[in-house]
Amino acid sequence: MSDATPPSDQPADATPPASDRVRLRRKPMRGRHDRETVDAIIDSSLIGVISFVQDGQPYGIPTNVWREGDRLYWHASAGSRLLRVAAGSPVCVTLHQLDALVLARSATNHSVNYRSVVVLGMANLVTDAAHAEHALEGLIESIYPGRWAQLRPMTEKERKETGVMYVDLAECSAKVRDEGAHDNEGDETWPVWAGVIPVQTVRGAPEPDEFVQPGTQEPVVRLP
């Protein structure tokens, strides 16, 4: 939803956008171009949507994404369309997290609080085996710190069946809304509830499969 009455037309941070393509045009006060904000959103996200183009048609495919340094990684089956079509082509990776519903006294001023990131760039296919395996370790570790070393080691066949890709975090921007409702002047007395309803993603109790032995340590989980 959109909402009115921006408190400021100025970006929230002093970092200029890397390009005009990632400059926030609408509600620029919600735009953040500093890597600290971008990285924090990426590092707290499990899923991203990889958008690519085939025959003029855009496709947006949700998949696990993770960051190492200045690169945003994802993986795909070696024979998948995501891998075949996207490799070497321009992509957009989009991450979003919902933090709250924002209810105003007019429809237009309803909104949501969220954090989102958009990354533009060329999709690079990792061709070096050591790089690919290191990246896949990063995927497991980004969600379950310490788990990689506990797992049955990856086989050569498994590694070959998994395509690893990344995009450089050179051209990216974040967008953050974290406020209450902004009603138009005069609307405050309209007799309807207005405010914020927080939204959170929570994990339930781990459900072991039938082969887990009594006393086995439960996994450390960092995400979501």
* Range 115-174, binding its own copies (CB under 8 A): 116, 118, 120, 136-137, 139-140, 143-144, 147-148, 150-154, 158, 161-162
Specify the residue, 56 or 69, whose C-beta has the smaller distance to its own copies. 56
The minimum distance between CB 31 and its own copies, in angstroms, equals: 13
Scanning 6-14, 32-40, 124-132, 183-191 for contacts with its own copies by CB under 8 A, the matching segment is: 183-191
Task: Provide the 8-state DSSP code for 94.
Answer: E
Cβ atoms of residues 29 and 4 within 8 Å: no
Which residue, 14 or 218, is less far from its own copies as judged by CB?
218
Residues between 31 and 90 with contacts to its own copies, criterion CB under 8 A = 46-47, 49, 51-53, 56-62, 64, 75-77, 79-81, 90
Between 14 and 205, name the residue whose CB sits nearer to its own copies: 205
Q: Does 214 bind its own copies (CB under 8 A)?
A: no
Look at the block and give the residue holding tokens 């061709």: 127
Q: What's the CA gap between 115 and 178, in Å, rounded?
A: 8
Residue 14 or 209: the one with the smaller Cβ distance to its own copies is: 209
Which of 18, 29, 40, 101 touches its own copies by CB under 8 A?
101
Name residue, tokens 């954090």.
115
Burial of 142: CB neighbours in 10 Å, binned 0-12, 13-18, 19+:
buried
Cβ(174)–Cβ(31) below 8 Å = yes
- Cα 4 versus chain centre, distance: 26
At closest approach, how far in Å is the CB of 139 from its own copies? 7
Among 30, 37, 114, 176, binds its own copies (CB under 8 A): 114
Q: What is the DSSP string of 2-48?
A: -----S-SS-SSSPPPSSGGGS--SSGGGEE--HHHHHHHHHT-SEE
Residue 31 Cα distances to 13, 28, 37, 114, 116, angstroms? 8, 5, 10, 12, 10
Q: How far is the CB of 35 from its own copies (least distance, A)?
A: 20
Q: Please, which residue, 18 or 143, has the CB nearer to its own copies? A: 143
Measured from the CB atom, the residue of 34 and 137 that comes closer to its own copies is 137
CB of 126 to its own copies, least distance (A): 15
Residue 131, SS3 per DSSP: helix
